[in-house]
Amino acid sequence: MTPGHLRNGVSSVVGAILVPMERLSGLDAGFLYMETPTLLMHTLKLAVLETAPGQSDLPLAWFRQQIADRLHLLPPFRRRVVEVPLGLNHPVWVEDPDFDIDYHVRRVKLPVVGDRGQLDEVVADIAGRPLDRRRPLWELYLIDGFEGSKLAVLVKIHHAVVDGMAAAALLANVMSTTPEELGESVPAGPPRWYPEELPTRRRLVVEALRDQARLIGKLPALVWRTLHNLADVVRHRRTMSVTPPRPVLDTPRTSFNRALTPRRSFATATFSLEEVRKIRRAFGVTVNDVVLAVVGGALRRYLIDRGELPDRSLVAGVPVSTDRPDEIRRLGGNRVSNLFTTLATDEPDPVRRLQIIHEVTAEARVLHNLLGVEMMHDWVQYTPPKPYSFAVRLWSRLRIADQFPPPINVVVSNVPGPREPLFVGGARLLSIYSVGPVLEGIGLNITVWSYLDQLNVGVLACRDAVADSHAITRAIGEAIAELAERSQIKPAIVG
C-alpha cells in the first residue's frame, strides 16, 4: 500500500471492515484535558542515526513508505481523537478516514550544517508547536545536515497516545536488530488495516452514556478501597524513620517553577551507563537512586550559580510504570503512576545526598504501593471533561501558577531502553533521547533513556524559565564525575 493509497484509496473499503472505536482511559484523556496554548502535552523522541557507507541519507519517500508499510505494527499512529458531544464521557479513538502519511512524515534541514546547538534549537522550536487534533497525534521529522553521515530523526507524539514503556515497544516495531537494504520486505503481521467512518453523533452519545453507567456502578467499591488504602498509608507514616515529601506542602519555589509560555529550550547529553552502574554497586543503591542523585546534584549547582538555592530540598515527581512483568508488551496508552521523593538539594555532600535519596525513595515506594499503583488511574476515570478543561485553561490564562507553590519542582523519568544495536534500513541507531512535557508551575522535565552502554539524558524546559538547558546537562555530567570519584574511596551505603 503506497502513501497515496493511504490518502485516497480507502473509500471503497471503508465500512467493509468495522474497527470498533475505543474510549480513552481517564488517564489518557487527562493529557488532552490538560493541554493549553502554553502547556503542550506531547513527548519527544530524538534518534541519531549513522547512515551506511555510500548512503548519504534516508530518502524521505522511502521513509514514508517504511512507516506506511508498518502501520499494522503501529496501531496508535493510525488513530485520531473524536470528542463526545457535550463532554458526556471521555473521547474515543477511531481509525482516521483521512490519514495522510505525507503530513505526518516531514523533512527539515539544520540552518548550520553539523551544529549540535542548531539541532537542539530546531527540536525546541518543534516542541513549542501543538499537534493537530484533527489528525493522529504524532509527527516525524527527518533532520538533515547533522555531522556528516549522521541523521537525526525526531518523533513528536502526544502523551495521550503512549507512555515511555509503550513508546519503547513501538520503537522496536519500526527498527531491526540487523542492517537492512532499502526496500527490504515488511515484517510479517496482521492483515492491512483500513480506516473507518467517523462515528455518528447518536452512536457517540449512546455509548458514552452506557459506559458512564458502568463506571458509576464501580464507584462504591473504589471509594471503599481508597479509604482502606489511605488508612494503611496513615498508619505506615507514623512508623517511618524518614518521611517522603508532600507535594505542595513541602515544595520550595525556584525560577523554573512558574507559569508557562509556549517557548521551549532543549538539550541532550550522553553519559556512560557502566559508570552509573559502578556507582550503584559501590554504594549499594539502585540505578534510579543514582539518576535522582545526579539530577539533585546538578540542580543544586545550577541554583547556586544563580544565587537561588532554597533552604528546603527540591521535590521530584517520578513516573512509575504500573505494567506487570508478565504482561504482554503494550503498543499504546498510559499505565503509569507517580511517586514523590526528595532530590536532597539541601545536602552539600554528594554521597550523603545519594544515601538520603535512597532511603526516602524506598519509603516513597512503600507508600505508593500501599495507596495502590492503580489508584490514580482508577480515579481519573471520573474526571469530567468540560469542567476540567475549563479549569486548566483558566489556570493557564490567569497565570495562577505564579501565585501558588508548585506541586513539585521537576519531573525526573528513567526509562530502560534497548539493550542491543538497532537499525533503520542500513542506518545504525547511535543514540536515542526522550523527554516529556513541562507543566504549569513545573517548567523543567529531565528524562533518561538507556541504550546499549549509554545513559542518554534529555532536558526540556520553558525557555523563559531556563534559557539554556545545556547548563543543566553540563551540571549532570559534573555530578556523575563527582560521585564516580567518591565511589573509589567510600564503602557501600547500608540500608
Catalytic residue among 42, 159, 368, 377: 159
Asked if 159 is an active-site residue, the reply is yes
**Is the distance from CB of 307 to CB of 254 less than 8 angstroms?**
no
Asked if 413 and 447 touch (Cβ cutoff 8 Å), the reply is: yes
Nearest C-alpha neighbor of 181 from the set 424, 360, 364: 424
Task: For the chain, give the secondary structure using H, E and C.
Answer: CCHHHHHHCCCCCECCECCCCEECCHHHHHHHHCCCCCCCCEEEEEEEEECCCCCCCCCHHHHHHHHHHCHHHCHHHHEEEECCHHHCCCCEEEECCCCCHHHHEEEEECCCCCCHHHHHHHHHHHHCCCCCCCCCCEEEEEEEEECCCEEEEEEEEECCCECHHHHHHHHHHHCECCCCCCCCCCCCCCCCCCCCCCCCHHHHHHHHHHHHHHHHHHHHHHHHHHHHHHHHHHHHHCCCCCCCCCCCCCCCCCCCCCCCCCCEEEEEEEEEHHHHHHHHHHHCCCHHHHHHHHHHHHHHHHHHHCCCCCCCCCEEEEEEECCCCCCCCCCCECCEEEEEEECCCCCCCHHHHHHHHHHHHHHHHHHHHHHCCCHHHHHHCCCCHHHHHHHHHHHHHCCHHHCCCCCCCEEEEEECCCCCCCEECCEEEEEEEEECCCECCECEEEEEEEECCEEEEEEEEECCCCCCCHHHHHHHHHHHHHHHHHHCCCCCCCC
Active site residues: 159
